[in-house]
């Protein structure tokens, strides 16, 4: 296909596709799916070889969030029967992190529910970061604490944080449909604060919330404009007790097309398959490794993931290798830009928004295909690891 040849050439040159090209990837047929995966795989291998970076989540504070994000089981008013606990102590967090590192993870992601950290919270997390780094040589630490106030990113950086995560989640045009307690602009501001402090920015999206192809392309182009080093692609886990519990809009094929589109738009960024891969990609997970160069190992914040041992077997069986702690994740032009392996933050172009959000045939894209019966059997609330007395999945 001429489209795929063009996208490969652009990806190898770090050239931004047009919006029409990105939309066309999402509109490809199932008959062309393997061609799409093969093309995006060439771009992935050019920048990242066959390495897969493993990341491990530690939920420092679970539940009871005052924000109303519709997709989240920790949201205000959530009836999801998740684990709820206040801040883990530094030693507890370090012990949880050690399990993931023993399983092969090189980055620990420290997450806490809430709108954003107080200064006291930043002190608490800073102590946790220092404890983890003192006890685990060479580990990368990413913090995810919500909206940042002035000066907080700098304090996290001084404490030893390598990165900060704050996802855009969906397009600016539809953001108000999923969250009303803060704005899309608030999220952009926090990513920019992380950049300015010298932290490696990590920002991604959630697919499967009923968005159109135009929404997906819009948020990915906005991410390209912000130029984070890491782009997590989450697939909505419709948790019982949340407003989006009945949203089952994804097929494994659509998930692969979304990952391919992200790879073409962000060719040299760490594209990470995040929450929901087991639920929506299912047996197609190994194919997704040809598109993304990073995954989470084990469980997520409030839901259980695939067994860590199965993750490692999947990577090996698919012909990939786990990235070692002595290997630099990002391509040289990014890794050299900021001391410690963070990326460059050059501004890239961003296309215009293409109005409709109903999944109809707009701007040349196909309507979202029908999906099979919801796989509620694949959604399990996390009952082990951080905040419990049970061994973690790592």
Catalytic residue positions? Answer: 65, 69, 72, 109, 142, 202, 272
Which among 72, 15, 74, 71 has a CA at the least distance from the CA of 387? 74
Q: What is the DSSP letter of 116?
A: S
SS3 27: coil
* Structure tokens given for 152: 């907080």
Listed residue (244, 241, 247, 383) closest to 303, CA to CA: 383
> What are the helix (H) ranges across the chain?
2-12, 19-26, 33-48, 90-102, 119-135, 152-159, 175-178, 184-196, 213-226, 252-265, 277-280, 285-288, 308-317, 332-335
Alpha-carbon distances, residue 232 vs 266, 375, 379 (angstroms): 11, 22, 20
Phi, psi (degrees; rounded to nearest 5) at 30? -60, -30
Q: Cα dist. 98→6, 264, 272, 326 in Å? A: 44, 34, 21, 17
- Determine if residue 65 is labeled as part of a ligand binding site: yes
Adjacent-strand bridge partners of 270: 230
What does the alpha-carbon distance between residue 271 and residue 294 come to, in Å, rounded to a whole number?
Answer: 6
Burial of 87 per CB tally in 10 Å (0-12, 13-18, 19+): middle
Sign of CA dihedral 120, 180, 248, 364: negative
Among 15, 83, 55, 101, residue whose Cα is nearest residue 295: 55
Q: How far apart are CA 88 and CA 97, in angstroms?
A: 12
User: Does the annotation list 142 as a binding residue?
Assistant: yes
Residue 272 annotated as part of some ligand binding site? yes
Residue 266 marked in a binding site: no
User: Does 350 belong to an annotated binding site?
Assistant: no
| Token couple for 350 | 């961003």
Q: Which residues does the annotation place in the binding site for [4Fe-4S] cluster? A: 65, 69, 72
Q: Which residues does the annotation place in the binding site? A: 65, 69, 72, 109, 142, 202, 272
């Amino acid at each position: 296909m001429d489209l795929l040849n063009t996208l490969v050439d652009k990806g190898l040159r770090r050239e931004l596709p047009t919006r029409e090209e990105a939309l066309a990837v999402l509109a490809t047929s199932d008959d062309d799916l393997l061609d799409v995966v093969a093309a995006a795989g060439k771009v992935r291998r050019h920048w990242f070889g066959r390495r897969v970076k493993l990341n491990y989540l530690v939920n420092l504070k679970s539940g009871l969030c005052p924000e109303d994000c519709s997709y989240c089981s920790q949201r205000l008013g959530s009836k999801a029967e998740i684990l709820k606990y206040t801040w883990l102590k530094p030693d507890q967090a370090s012990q949880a992190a050690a399990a993931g590192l023993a399983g092969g993870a090189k980055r620990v992601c420290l997450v806490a529910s809430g709108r954003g950290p107080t200064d006291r919270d930043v002190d608490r997390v800073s102590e946790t970061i220092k404890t983890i780094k003192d006890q685990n040589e060479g580990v990368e630490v990413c913090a995810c604490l919500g909206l940042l106030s002035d000066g907080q990113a700098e304090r996290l950086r001084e404490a030893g944080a390598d990165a900060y995560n704050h996802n855009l989640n969906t397009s600016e045009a539809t953001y108000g449909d999923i969250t009303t307690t803060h704005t899309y602009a608030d999220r952009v501001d926090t990513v920019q604060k992380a950049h300015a402090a010298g932290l490696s920015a990590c920002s991604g999206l959630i697919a499967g919330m009923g968005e159109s192809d135009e929404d997906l392309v819009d948020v990915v182009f906005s991410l390209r404009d912000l130029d984070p080093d890491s782009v997590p692609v989450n697939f909505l886990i419709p948790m019982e007790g949340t407003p989006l519990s009945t949203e089952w809009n994804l097929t494994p094929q659509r998930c692969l097309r979304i990952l391919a589109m992200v790879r073409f738009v962000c060719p040299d960024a760490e594209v990470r398959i995040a929450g929901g891969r087991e639920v929506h990609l299912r047996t197609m997970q190994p194919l997704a490794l040809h598109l993304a160069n990073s995954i989470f190992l084990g469980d997520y914040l409030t839901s259980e993931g695939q067994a860590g041992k199965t993750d490692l077997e999947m990577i090996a069986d698919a012909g990939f290798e786990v990235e070692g702690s002595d290997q630099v994740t990002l391509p040289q032009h990014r890794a050299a830009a900021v001391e410690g392996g963070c990326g460059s933050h050059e501004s890239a172009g961003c296309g215009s928004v293409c109005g409709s959000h109903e999944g109809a045939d707009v701007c040349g894209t196909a309507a979202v295909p029908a999906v099979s019966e919801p796989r509620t059997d694949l959604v399990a609330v996390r009952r082990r690891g951080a905040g419990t007395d049970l061994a973690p999945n790592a």
